[in-house]
Homo-oligomer: A and B are copies of this chain.
Amino acid sequence: MSENYCFGVDVGGTTIKLAVLSTKGDILKKWEIPTNKSEQGRYIPQDIHKTIDSAQTELALHKSNVLGIGVGAPGFVDTKTGYIYEAVNIGWKNFDFGKQLANLSGYPVWVDNDANLAALGENWLGAGGGVENLIAVTLGTGVGGGIIANGKIISGANGMAAEIGHMTVIRSGGAACNCGKSGCLETETSATGIVRKAKEVLSEYPSSSLNSFTSITAKDVFQAAADHDEAASKVIASVIDTLGLTIANLAIAINPNKIVIGGGVSKAGVQLLQPLKEAFRTYALTRTAEACTFEIAELGNDAGVIGGAYLVKENL
């Protein structure tokens, strides 16, 4: 029997990442093209079609061995039809992306939120290891998430599931969030949130090493905390406690086998993970905590395209 292949696509604000994988999980090719955002991104379906067509020719893949295309988009997606309600970074609004790409390519197309596909990718070929129940948390400029339950990604009633960055963690008086609410997980534990929190406390700590920085990054705050800077330590402890509490609450709902932490902030590694596990155990039920392990994401920027390919495989 000849091998079958799936295309995975991850549409970002600057580049579109692509990969073609065998259903066994071998990556045949991985590449990217620039995101053409002109005219509200209307040329993106044909850009994707063309580059996939070229790759197929280059790799001499027979059309009958290509099972379809799985696409991650940074926004609100109707996963049943691939219709994009809104993807602000791309310019899409009420755009029948999935249908257009299917018509152009002749392949079945599945579309989901990019964070959800990253979770699927990590579970297929990365830190998840193919578990039935997984929570993926991406700590970057914002905070994203993906939840797998009963072996399937949760997309929800209108593609909004796992928007965990917008769980409210400060009931009143929290910082304003881009979503229009305040006190969201994202405002407290993203890289941006860590920097804001550090800046907020610095005036109370005139001797903090962070005062000498002209521009502070989350990495700087972690480094200063590692060097026992009091202000930085206080901020990192607060961030990790909030994160542990929120992940514990999520885990009480989902009862995952694995919790995978990714994104730029996860590069803090054990400095993040060790106290995070402790905070998690404080707030989780014992049996819930016993059932799961914490892992740092392994696939980096490839998680999305790998998850896209998996979405095809899973739906066939």
The answer to whether B167 touches A252 (Cβ under 8 A) is: yes
Each complex incorporates copies of this chain amounting to 2
Interface residues on A, range: 35 or more
Report which of B166, B241, B256, B257 forms a contact with A285, defined as CB distance below 8 A: B166
Report which of B155, B249, B256, B257 forms a contact with A249, defined as CB distance below 8 A: B249
- Indicate the member of A133, A149, A248, A252 with the most B CB atoms within 10 Å: A252
The answer to whether A253 touches B255 (Cβ under 8 A) is: no
The answer to whether B147 touches A253 (Cβ under 8 A) is: yes
The answer to whether A150 touches B157 (Cβ under 8 A) is: no
Q: Which of A193-201, A217-225, A287-295 contacts B (4 or more CB under 8 A)?
A: A287-295
The answer to whether A157 touches B257 (Cβ under 8 A) is: yes
Q: Does A59 contact B (CB under 8 A)?
A: no
Report which of B152, B157, B255 forms a contact with A256, defined as CB distance below 8 A: B157
Docked complex Cα distance between A181 and B147 (Å)? 25
Q: Does A1 contact B (CB under 8 A)?
A: no
Q: Does A214 contact B (CB under 8 A)?
A: no
Report which of B133, B152, B164 forms a contact with A252, defined as CB distance below 8 A: B164
The answer to whether A287 touches B160 (Cβ under 8 A) is: yes
Q: State the Cβ distance, A165 to closest chain B Cβ, in Å.
A: 9
Q: Does A161 contact B (CB under 8 A)?
A: yes
- Closest chain B residue, CB of each to CB of A135: B253
- Closest chain B residue, CB of each to CB of A153: B150
Chain B residues with CB under 8 Å of A132's CB are: 157
List 20 other contacts, CB 8 Å, given A149-B154, A161-B253: A132-B157, A133-B156, A150-B152, A150-B154, A154-B254, A154-B255, A156-B254, A157-B255, A157-B256, A157-B257, A158-B287, A159-B255, A160-B255, A161-B254, A162-B253, A162-B255, A163-B288, A167-B253, A171-B245, A179-B285
